[in-house]
């Protein structure tokens, strides 16, 4: 069973282009599943468990075990997605003939409205990297591009200069499932990238053939975690009282487009969402804004309060 898990995670990494964050989460979920099967369900060494011993009752028992441990419904849903993906992969690979997770419903998690920054907040954040030294230029370009394109951090750090056309202000990115998409960006991001490009060669490690757009202090490709640290530093330099993770910039990108009348299908394409339902959660953000405007501005809404 552990061999199957290893091959499945390798498949997600190499063929499905899953982000390092998602791979770590799935690996943890599948480790917990195997440990549960071994110690709490079948009662023997998890390494000796065969895929055909996993049935629907085992999957349901695993979800019940997670619930008893106080695991949130959102985390239960992700764990089921990891297990379901593993079992479907086993079927496609000929290891199993029937998917035992078929028909098992995903635990319903409460809908969360995506957190985003207001226009004034995002402007302050984009202006946070001060100075003209190379790494300040890099950080400005990094933040501008995140907000201008709504890229996932894993997509951002994977960019090479050959993926960018600064003249036409468009980039090519390979997202989840190895799906390629073109994403435009505005003049501020293009200018920030051009300024970083001027000093990029001097930040490259000696003898390196690296083509990564964003380099770390040692001249190698920047990592997801490094982007989070750069963002934390930018937040600390502003008056923002809350923490901001990189995905908030993605949410902000989508929310601001929607607020200004962008078509939901176009936003879906720009974000690289497979399903429109994933993009539709941003309509709740815009609805909240409209309700607030109505409450504050409409005479009868104010009188009712």
Helices (H), the chain: 2-14, 20-35, 56-68, 73-92, 119-126, 134-149, 153-157, 187-203, 224-236, 246-259, 264-271, 276-279, 281-297, 299-304
Catalytic residue among 78, 116, 250, 256: 250
| Same domain, yes or no: 36 and 151 | no
Q: What is the pLDDT of residue 156?
A: 93
pTM: 0.66
The tens-digit pLDDT sequence of the chain (305 residues) is: 889 999 999 999 888 878 888 899 999 999 999 999 988 788 888 888 899 999 999 999 999 999 999 998 889 999 999 999 999 999 999 999 999 999 898 887 666 655 778 888 888 888 888 888 999 999 999 999 999 998 988 899 999 999 999 999 999 988 777 788 888 999 999 999 999 999 999 888 887 888 999 999 888 899 988 988 888 888 887 766 566 777 888 888 888 888 887 777 888 888 887 766 655 665 665 556 555 654 665 454 554 44
| Same domain, yes or no: 85 and 126 | no
- Domain-embedded: residue 263: yes
Phi then psi for residue 184, to 5 deg, are: -80, 160
Q: What is the pLDDT of residue 164?
A: 94
| Same domain, yes or no: 150 and 268 | yes
The upper half-sphere exposure of residue 95, i.e. CA atoms within 13 Å in the direction of its Cβ, equals 19
- Domain-embedded: residue 305: no
| Same domain, yes or no: 129 and 197 | yes
CA–CA distance, 55 with 41 (Å, rounded to integer):
11
Q: What is the pLDDT of residue 247?
A: 80
For 70-73, the CB contacts below 8 A with 24+ separation are: 72/109, 73/107, 73/108, 73/109, 73/110
Catalytic residue among 32, 137, 140, 152: 152
Range of the domain at 32: 2-92
Catalytic, 78? Answer no
CA–CA distance, 251 with 265 (Å, rounded to integer):
16
Catalytic residue among 16, 73, 84, 176: 176
Tens of pLDDT, residues 156-171: 999 999 999 999 999 9
Catalytic, 273? Answer yes
How many domains is the chain built from?
A: 2
Q: In Å, what is the CA distance from 211 to each residue of 166, 179, 195, 198?
A: 15, 21, 17, 14
Catalytic, 168? Answer no
Catalytic, 68? Answer no
Q: What is the pLDDT of residue 298?
A: 47
- Domain-embedded: residue 101: no
- Domain-embedded: residue 228: yes
| Same domain, yes or no: 246 and 160 | yes
CATH number, position 229 = 1.10.443.10
- Domain-embedded: residue 300: no
| Same domain, yes or no: 60 and 154 | no
- Domain-embedded: residue 106: no
Catalytic residue among 84, 247, 281, 289: 247
Residue 160, phi-psi category: left (phi > 0), alpha (psi -120 to 50), beta (remainder): beta
Catalytic residue among 88, 181, 273, 281: 273
CATH number, position 11 = 1.10.150.130
| Same domain, yes or no: 60 and 198 | no
Tens of pLDDT, residues 111-125: 665 577 888 888 888
| Same domain, yes or no: 29 and 123 | no
Q: What is the pLDDT of residue 64?
A: 94
């Amino acid at each position: 069973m552990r061999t199957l898990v290893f091959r499945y995670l390798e498949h997600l990494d190499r063929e499905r282009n899953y982000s390092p964050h998602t791979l770590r989460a799935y690996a943890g979920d599948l480790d917990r599943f195997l440990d549960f099967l071994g110690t709490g369900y079948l009662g023997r060494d998890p390494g000796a468990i065969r895929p055909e011993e996993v049935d629907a009752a085992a999957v349901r028992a695993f979800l019940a075990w997670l619930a008893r441990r106080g695991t949130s419904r959102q985390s239960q849903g992700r764990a089921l997605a990891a297990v379901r993906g593993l079992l479907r992969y086993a079927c496609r690979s000929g290891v199993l003939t029937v998917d035992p997770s078929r028909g098992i419903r995903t635990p319903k998690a409460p809908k969360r409205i995506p957190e985003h920054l207001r226009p004034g907040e995002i402007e302050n954040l984009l202006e946070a990297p001060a100075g003209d030294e190379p790494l300040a230029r890099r950080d400005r370009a990094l933040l501008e591009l995140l907000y201008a394109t709504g890229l996932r951090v894993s997509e951002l750090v994977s960019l090479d200069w050959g993926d960018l056309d600064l003249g036409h202000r468009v980039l090519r990115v390979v997202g989840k499932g190895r799906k390629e998409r073109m994403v435009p960006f505005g003049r501020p991001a293009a200018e920030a990238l051009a300024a970083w490009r001027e000093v990029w060669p001097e930040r490259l490690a000696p003898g390196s053939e690296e083509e990564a757009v964003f380099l770390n202090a040692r001249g190698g490709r920047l990592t997801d975690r490094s982007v989070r640290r750069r963002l934390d530093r930018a937040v600390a330099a502003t008056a923002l009282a809350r923490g901001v993770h990189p995905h908030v910039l993605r949410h902000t990108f989508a929310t601001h487009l929607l607020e200004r009348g962008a078509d939901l299908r176009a936003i879906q394409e720009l974000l690289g969402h497979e399903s429109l339902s994933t993009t539709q959660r941003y309509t709740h953000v815009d609805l909240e804004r409209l309700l607030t405007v109505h409450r504050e501005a409409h005479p009868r809404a104010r009188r009712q309060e």
